[in-house]
Amino acid sequence: MSVLLEARELVKHYGAVHALRGASFSVDAGEVVALIGDNGAGKSTLVRHLSGVEQPESGQILLNGEPITLGSPTDARVQGIETVYQDLAIAPELDPAANLFLGREIRRKGLLGALGMLDNGAMREKAKVEFDRLGVSLQSMSTPIGSLSGGQRQSIAVARAVAWASKVVFMDEPTAALGVVQRERVLDVIKRVRDTGIGVVLISHNMPEVLSVADRVEVLRLGRRVAEFRAADATIEDLVGAMTGALGDGEAA
């Protein structure tokens, strides 16, 4: 594996609040990295910087070892970086294919396309390929997504990000409010995404889930990275100790 996306010593203030105090982070190609920390640790701020929503006051962001500037989420998408937000950002009245191509619709060829008519058949065909690739099982491609289960909606949101990402996918609490079966389905999709060679960043408060799906864990506390673990060698006690400071900064880094 090679370092794909990296943050070095990012600093961000909101007035008197020091959200990032020299925060660093990295994700390799073809790995799942869990980003954890208590509320206020800086996780959301760091992800907003790495997905182009905000810009740091100082520090560097590197992609494939080269410094880049992410001035907007569009810049991040151009670089192959996609985000699955906790609210999914789906259109419940549209079918799965239409959601997959939301904002990237395929138009029909010729005059009809020039008039704005969409090629629904082509979008459904390509969507099915993406869903099959990630093991997302749907009974119908024409059912409005709002009528599907929570796990299916989450899986479709993940598939949409993966369909357009070539480098990294950020997933913010992707199993929140899901049942056991639905959660396992989404975790399986995450592993499949990793196996395509994409770097996956999982933001989660669920420690057993983190250890079950992540290859590596990075811990933020008070706006900086305080520990890194190989998930296979870590325990929940290790993670909680790093999050709370009981472990001691740097002991697992």
In this prediction, residue 160 carries a pLDDT of: 85
User: What per-residue confidence (pLDDT) applies to 42?
Assistant: 94
- DSSP assignment, residue 102? T
Q: What are φ and ψ of residue 83, in 5° steps?
A: -130, 135
Instruction: Give the model's pLDDT for residue 172.
Output: 87
Per-residue pLDDT at 249: 57
**From first to last of its 253 residues, what are the pLDDT tens digits of the chain?**
568 999 999 999 999 999 999 999 999 999 999 999 999 999 999 999 999 999 999 999 999 999 999 999 999 999 999 988 877 678 889 999 999 998 888 998 988 888 888 998 999 999 988 888 878 888 888 889 988 888 888 888 888 888 888 899 999 888 876 778 778 888 888 898 899 999 999 999 999 999 999 999 999 999 999 999 999 999 999 999 999 988 665 544 4
What's the pLDDT at 181?
79
pTM for the full predicted model: 0.83
pLDDT number for residue 199: 95
Task: Give one DSSP letter per residue of 123-153, joined into a string.
Answer: HHHHHHHHHHHTT---S-SSS-GGGS-HHHH
| Gap between the Cα atoms of 160 and 148, Å rounded | 16
135 phi-psi bin (left φ>0, alpha ψ -120 to 50, beta other)? left
CA neighbours closer than 13 Å in the CB half-sphere of residue 45: 27
Nearest alpha carbon to residue 252 among 214, 43, 231, 200: 231
Q: What is the pLDDT of residue 251?
A: 45
Burial code (b: 16+ CB inside 10 Å, e: under 16) for 215-227 equals bbbbbbbbbbbbb
Q: Domain limits of the chain?
A: 3-244
Task: Return the number of other C-beta atoms located less than 10 Å from residue 56's C-beta.
Answer: 22
At 253 the pLDDT is 43
Q: Give dist(CA 49, CA 73) in Å, integer.
A: 9
- 233, two tokens: 């060698």
84: left (phi over 0), alpha (psi -120 to 50) or beta: beta
Predicted pLDDT of residue 248: 62
Q: Pinpoint the alpha helices (H) of the chain.
A: 43-50, 73-78, 96-100, 110-114, 120-133, 150-164, 180-195, 207-213, 236-244
CATH code matching the domain that covers 3-244, chosen among 3.30.420.10, 3.40.50.300, 3.40.50.10580, 3.40.30.10:
3.40.50.300
